[in-house]
């Protein structure tokens, strides 16, 4: 089944993530798949965590630093993308107010559990 979400159709809401309330627009949350847009303020930190499944992030606006264990930290800015494999421990720090499109093979509840 096709799904279309125009800018006018987007529904933004406060959501609980990593122990904080953030702005979230859920685009798809069915079965084990999630897609959504998040808005996060500068200085926001996702603490050291990992996921049970892959996660991919496309930065729409702003900048985020990804500290993946065993790798040099990378700053990803607007137009950039990164992919995290299942079980890869990492920390993410928002360096400039961020808007990012996130997709994962985890449902929304499992995505939040990665930070507990």
CATH code for position 20: 2.60.120.10
Query: Is 7 contained in some domain?
Result: no
Query: Is the pLDDT at 103 greater than 60, yes or no?
Result: yes
Average pLDDT in the 85-113 region? 88
Task: State the average pLDDT over residues 72-89.
Answer: 96
Instruction: Tell me whether residue 59 is exposed, middle or buried, using C-beta atoms within 10 angstroms of its C-beta: 0 to 12, 13 to 18, 19 or more.
Output: buried
Q: What is the pLDDT of residues 44-73, one digit of tens each?
A: 998 898 988 999 999 999 999 999 998 999
- Give the three-class secondary structure for 85: coil
Number of folded domains that form the chain: 1
Q: Is residue 91 part of a domain?
A: yes
Secondary structure (3-state) at 108: helix
Sign of the Cα torsion 95, 98, 104, 108 reads: positive
Residue 3 pLDDT exceeds 90: no
What is the domain range of residue 24?
12-114
Asked, for residue 64, whether it belongs to a domain, the answer is yes
Report the pLDDT value the prediction gives residue 115, as an integer from 0 to 100. 59
Residue 43 lies in a domain: yes
- Using DSSP's 3-state secondary structure scheme, residue 8 falls into helix
In a domain, 2, yes or no: no
Q: Are 13 and 91 spatial neighbours (Cβ–Cβ below 8 Å)?
A: no
- Residue 51, in any domain of the structure: yes
């Amino acid at each position: 089944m096709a799904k279309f979400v125009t800018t006018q159709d987007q529904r933004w809401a406060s959501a609980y993530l990593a122990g904080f309330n953030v702005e979230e627009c859920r685009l798809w949350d069915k079965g084990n798949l999630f897609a959504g847009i998040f808005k996060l303020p500068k200085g926001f930190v996702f603490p050291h965590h990992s996921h049970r499944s892959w996660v991919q992030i496309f930065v729409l606006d702003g900048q985020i630093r990804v500290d993946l264990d065993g790798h040099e930290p990378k700053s990803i800015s607007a137009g950039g993308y990164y992919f995290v494999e299942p079980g890869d421990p990492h920390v993410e720090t928002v360096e400039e107010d961020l808007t990012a499109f996130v997709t994962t093979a985890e449902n929304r509840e499992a995505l939040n559990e990665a930070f507990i």
